[in-house]
Every structure is written in C-alpha cells, then in structure tokens.
C-alpha cells in the first residue's frame, strides 16, 4: 500500500518533471483554456465532458468556443491531449481539475448537482497520489463539506493519500489583455500538504500563485471579487435610472467622474448582468449566510436592481411603441446582440435572453441578429427556435423596433441609426440625441 509520504513526494516529483497527467472535468469556457495551457507546458491532458458531441469535436480538432483558435486545439491533440466521456480514465490522471457549472435553481438557491455528481463519478477511480482541485465558483465550505466526503468514500485520506484544494477560475472570455496563465491564481488547500501540491501544480502553468490559508478563504475570495462587481453594477444601473429621469447622460457622468485619479472606479450600466459568475455568485453567499442567521441586505438589493434591468429595457420599448400608436403584441422587434457581453459567443445568463422572453410573452414577432451566435443554442432553461438574421438596411426596415442588447463591435451602428425606425439603446451606443433613439 502506498504511504502518505510516498504519495506526496511521488506526486510532487511527477509535477516538477511535467510527467503528471492532468484531467480536466468540464471542457467549457474554463476547462478548455486550462487544458490547452497544461498541454502547452508539457503535461499530458485528458479532458472529460458528459457532452459526447463536444468530446468528438474536440478530438477532431474542432473548437467549440469562438474565441479559442482551432489551431490551438489541433496542436494540443498533436501533443497527446484527448477527450472522453469515460470517467474510468480518471485513474490515469495525477491531478483532476473540476471545472463544471454551479448554477442556481428556480428558487435562486445554489445548485451543486454538477459538482456533487462529478465527485461521485470520479470517486471510484481515484487512487493514492492524486490531486483534486475544485475550480467552480461556490459558497465557502463546499470543498470541505461536499467534495471531501465524496472523494474519500473509498478510504483515501485528504492530506495523506489524496490532496484537495480549491482554486477559483478567473477566466474572462474574449479579454485579449489577460490569458489563463497571466491571471494570478488563488489557491487554498484542505491541509498544508494539499496547499503545497496545489502550489506546485499551478506554479507550473500560471505566472503568479496567490496562496491563502484555507479552501474557505479561497472560495470567499472568488465570491468577493464577483459580488464587488455585481454591487457596483447595481449601483450604476440605479444611477442610470435616476439620470434618465433627470435627463442626464449617465455615460457622460461616468466619463467625467473617471478623471478623478483616486477613489473612483468606472462601472457601466446595461440591460442586466450576464455571464456565469456575476449574476449567480452573490446568491451563493446570501444563501450560505442564512445558515449563520445573517441577512446580506446590501448584496440582495443590488441583485434585485440588476435582475430588474431587462424589464426596464422592455418598458422603454413599450413607451416607444406607444408613442407611435403601436402595441408590443404584433410588433416586429429585432434584438441586436444576444451574447452576454460584446464580441463573444458566450450566452450564459445573458440579459438579452430575458428581454427576448418578455417580448415573446407579450406577443411580439421576434428575431435577433448576432454575428457571434449564428443559431440560438441549446440552453437548460431557455428555448428559442431562431437563427441570426443578416443585419442590412432592408432587414431593419422590416422591423418596428430594434433593441441594442449587446454592443458587438461588428455592428454598423451608423447604418442601424439610419434605417431603424425605433432604437432602444441599452448600452449607451448612441450618445447624441436622435428622434428614433430611446436610451434604456
């Protein structure tokens, strides 16, 4: 039987020599860049995903994410990276990095099924001398309370024969200024030895490691990062509503405030929050806080404001159509951009989808144009049988209104302004007053 000391030193040696095999569970927006970086640094890589179609495409060298170049996938495959749906291959891995979704259920409570199901799927194949790292965003205590019991169900001992860490992902899809390896990596270990192994692994693939005292500290760090953004975006969204009522351009206000060289950080309003982290993470903390009889009123208020923004945009459309003697029902409405932010194909928690659902529920004839999303994707909770329409003067002329929901650089905004009869601008694209533009 492998002793704890043997398992520890053997794993450190395999990591130091880049002989270790890294398993990435969840080959999505977090897992794929991480897998590519591990492969680039010389590690063997096995990607795991329950989506057989995605696995087949990646094995064929086809990128499933727009901003990831297929040449990078092909190069990693040439170096030996492979993907599979068979969790038995976990036994071949020296490190298992879990990068699965952590959504909310219909009650806005944490849904950890992807994490717990993954742990139960890998548990039968874990062996002494492996590292398990949870990267999925979650509430403090998840690694200790949910992951640890599952990965030790066969008799492994955390800190002796298996090494457990929490290291939150910090990917920002489409952000060319930062890549996987240039974003500092927070690492918290379940024990001192776990932390040492985690630092050794991530130190090989990430430029800067930020060790913290526990997995709970690392979990809370990720929540603070995203709650900071959610609260400030909620503030600026509320300021937008106030400025609109006072006939003040919120974007001009932000630009002026940004000239202060200290004490101010610019955040920009929009149609709501999107992406997998910012709209969800605050509710992970508010839920966990209730266990301690704490009520996070400030965070919850920001969440209420941000969740209300799609309705605010929709109401602006109603006012615009009413001014022309039209109802929403029967009106033809074109949504411009349905990804959650500009210049990416990422649809997770996109506020544009909430706007589309309001339009559909109120009887509008709906279409969308998005060069990054040619067809509305399969989503767990949202379904539209739609494909992107070409954005041309003739197309715009067929619609009663166009809503700028995502401000992609590919859009010709001057052409849109010239040919759209009514524009609802939720992103501050049109700064100068225009008869056919309503700021939302």
In this structure, are 182 and 320 located in the same domain?
no
CA distance linking residue 45 with residue 38, whole number of Å: 7
Catalytic residue of the set 83, 93, 99, 277: 277
Which CATH number belongs to the domain containing residue 301 in this structure?
A: 3.40.50.720
In this structure, are 209 and 271 located in the same domain?
no
In this structure, are 57 and 199 located in the same domain?
yes
Task: Find the domain containing 319 and state its range.
Answer: 267-439
pLDDT confidence of residue 331: 98
- What pLDDT tens digit does each residue of the chain (440 aa) get? 566 688 999 999 999 999 999 999 999 999 999 999 999 999 999 999 999 999 999 999 999 999 899 999 999 999 999 999 999 999 999 999 999 999 998 888 999 999 999 999 999 999 999 999 999 999 999 999 999 999 999 999 999 999 999 999 998 887 888 999 999 999 999 999 999 999 999 999 999 999 999 999 999 999 999 999 999 999 999 999 999 999 999 999 999 999 999 999 999 999 999 988 888 999 999 999 999 999 999 999 999 999 999 999 999 999 999 999 999 999 999 999 999 999 999 999 999 999 999 999 999 999 999 999 999 998 877 889 999 999 999 999 999 999 999 999 999 999 999 999 999 999 999 999 999 999 99
CA distance linking residue 370 with residue 296, whole number of Å: 37
In this structure, are 181 and 310 located in the same domain?
no
3-state secondary structure (DSSP) of residue 165: strand
3-state secondary structure (DSSP) of residue 321: helix
- ∠ CA 18-131-217, nearest 5°, is 115
CA distance linking residue 154 with residue 21, whole number of Å: 22
pLDDT confidence of residue 2: 62
Q: Is residue 249 part of a domain?
A: no
277 in active site: yes
pLDDT confidence of residue 187: 98
Partners of residue 431 on adjacent β-strands: none
Q: Is residue 218 part of a domain?
A: no
Q: Is residue 261 part of a domain?
A: no
pLDDT confidence of residue 379: 81
Q: Is residue 231 part of a domain?
A: no
Strand stretches in 26-157, DSSP E = 44-48, 82-84, 95-98, 130-134
In this structure, are 58 and 169 located in the same domain?
yes
Backbone angles phi, psi at 42, to 5 degrees: 100, 0
In this structure, are 194 and 287 located in the same domain?
no
Q: What is the layout of strands, in order, in the sheet containing 365-369?
A: 365-369, 332-336, 401-404, 423-425, 437-439
Number of compact structural domains in the chain: 2
């Amino acid at each position: 039987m492998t002793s704890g000391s043997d398992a520890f030193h053997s794993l450190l040696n395999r990591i130091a020599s880049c002989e270790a095999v890294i398993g990435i569970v969840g080959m999505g927006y977090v897992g794929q860049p991480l897998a590519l970086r591990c492969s680039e640094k010389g590690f063997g890589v096995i990607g795991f995903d329950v989506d057989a179609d995605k696995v087949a495409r990646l094995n064929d060298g086809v990128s499933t994410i727009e901003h990831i170049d297929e040449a990078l996938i092909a190069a990693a495959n040439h170096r030996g990276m492979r993907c599979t749906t068979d969790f038995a291959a976990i036994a071949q891995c020296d490190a298992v990095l879990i990068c699965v979704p952590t959504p909310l259920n219909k009650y806005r409570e944490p849904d950890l099924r992807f994490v717990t199901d993954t742990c139960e799927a890998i548990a039968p194949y874990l062996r002494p001398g492996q590292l398990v790292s949870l990267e999925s965003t979650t509430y403090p205590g998840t690694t200790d309370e949910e992951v640890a019991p599952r990965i030790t169900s066969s008799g492994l001992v955390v800190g002796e024969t298996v090494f457990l860490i929490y290291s939150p992902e910090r990917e920002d899809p489409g952000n060319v200024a930062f890549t996987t390896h240039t974003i500092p990596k927070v690492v918290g270990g379940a024990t001192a030895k776990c932390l040492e192994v985690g630092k050794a692994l991530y130190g090989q693939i990430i430029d800067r490691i930020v060790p913290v005292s526990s997995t709970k500290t690392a979990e809370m760090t990720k929540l603070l990062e995203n709650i900071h953004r959610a609260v400030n975006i909620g503030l600026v969204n509320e300021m937008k509503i106030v400025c609109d009522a006072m006939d003040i351009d919120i974007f001009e206000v932000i630009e002026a405030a940004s000239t202060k060289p200290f004490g101010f950080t610019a955040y920009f309003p929009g149609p709501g929050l999107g992406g997998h982290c910012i709209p969800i993470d605050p509710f992970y903390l508010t839920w966990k806080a209730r266990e301690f009889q704490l009520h996070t009123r400030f965070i919850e208020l920001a969440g209420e404001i941000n969740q209300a923004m799609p309705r605010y945009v929709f109401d602006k459309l109603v006012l615009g159509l009413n001014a022309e003697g039209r109802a929403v029902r029967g009106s033809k409405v074109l949504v411009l951009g349905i990804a959650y932010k500009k210049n990416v194909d990422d649809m997770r928690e996109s506020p544009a989808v909430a706007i589309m659902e309001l339009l559909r529920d109120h009887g509008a004839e709906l279409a969308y144009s998005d060069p990054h999303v040619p067809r509305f994707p399969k989503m767990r909770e949202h379904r539209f049988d739609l494909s992107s329409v070409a954005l041309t003067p003739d197309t715009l002329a067929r619609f009663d209104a166009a809503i700028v929901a995502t401000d992609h650089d590919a859009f010709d905004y001057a052409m849109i302004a010239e040919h759209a009869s009514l524009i609802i601008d939720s992103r501050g694209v049109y700064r100068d007053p225009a008869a056919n533009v309503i700021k939302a």
